[in-house]
Structure 1
């Protein structure tokens, strides 16, 4: 068969636009089918904190409700320490398919980028699904330490020998950053005693082995109620019902030192958008359950339950305040 120059053969490679359109359509349909069937197996929720603390209890309640929404188990996997870097690395090493998600606190989402000259992970590879809740930080001591109130403690700490120590989990955690910033502002030479997790640090303060710690209210609350811990100050913007005699840091004259522990859900940025939306909606639905809201509120949490766009704005505010605080306090994780 002959063809003239005016009438070239119609072959598949001469239709690149049609072929590309078919390929893109196939990819789109494949992604849509995947999103509709998601999840078809249990979801793993990594957590950069130890088991048994306030964050762990909160996240497990949320994960149970998310499982009801998704029709699959959501299993919490605790990986404390190293500023949650191990948990972040674990998530980013997994396929970006929504089956590995991460309960990320403000240490990961805000502080680390100011603490490390070079982050041990790519922050741009993290996509926030939403903030679940936040809880105020409190400065606590054990009754045996003999501090009448926070001013009494600060006065004694300036000249005490040996120096007054505080218990803290990993460098860069919200607990460590808050206490080091307070130490700098108060001009007091506290000594840090490192622990592998927030719960281990709190345990030694309750036992009277270390005099001070900054901890989230939900973790401290049972020990406050039992009288094993005394709240010296709160880093909330007001006094707390759980400790009405303890002043806020703003009352003490410290500006821009309000500090909360908050937990968000994060996935790899390459996760399909429809899957991100499915997970975000499940989280928000879980946080909207009356039983969850009541229980978390009674245990010191403030429900936030924001979507991805609101979370980005929320993070930006914290970055502005806390990057400045970290720089002024000279805190580094390197």
Structure 2
């Protein structure tokens, strides 16, 4: 009741020097009372010969909705304002508060961000998540790494990352899934989902010189220039197979590659000779096989010809 609330808050006429007025009150377990509803709730009840009725005591009072009680806390009257529940001489329990506009303080992390975020899900080819997989987030610009673990749904996240390009991989036992290159920007969340890498890397290969004349039997050093790229798991290695149509065995050592793009040069020494009846010249064929970290491969070929003459052969 209003009287109980005033007494609990020590508001006029119940305040004393030993019980100063309180600042507020918390109500709980209020029933959902609606106009005309008189059963199945406990907010208030009709009272016969109510000794606290206003302005005349001893008058029977009806059950009232919550809206009237809440309005009375602010105004001392019903929600419609037509029925008073206490004297107008008493100050409202909770005077009407005039809302004030409070400016939102500047948050530098939001208005002037310097770091970014990354998130995603690690899943198998059949969409089943990798639970508790170890995730490595690598900054491709600096080489720095961050590790975390996926949850039961395969979710991972990385916070406070320096803007730049990132590659993410997750390992669970013998399974590895990758993101492709993800660009992290300040103040934004980049999504980089992880999945098995089934995309083959790209490779180019050239030989210089690739036409050799005269066929004088001398040894000639040929420079092989290669380049490769892989946008997901990253490059791992390049290996060679050299075929001389005359059957000479030639070898070029394999080399390790790294990153999402790489370039290299290797040397091959060939014999500048050909048989007299070999009208189209002696052919050396170099095939380079590039492999990414997920085991996908691509090949490129460069031909070296010991020419028969200075014509088109």
TM-score, normalised on structure 2?
0.22
Q: With CA pairs under 8 Å and 6+ residues apart, which has the higher RCO, 1 or 2?
A: 1
Which one has a larger percent helix, Structure 1 or Structure 2? 1
- Bigger radius of gyration: 2
Which one has a larger percent strand, Structure 1 or Structure 2? 2
TM-score, normalised on structure 1?
0.21
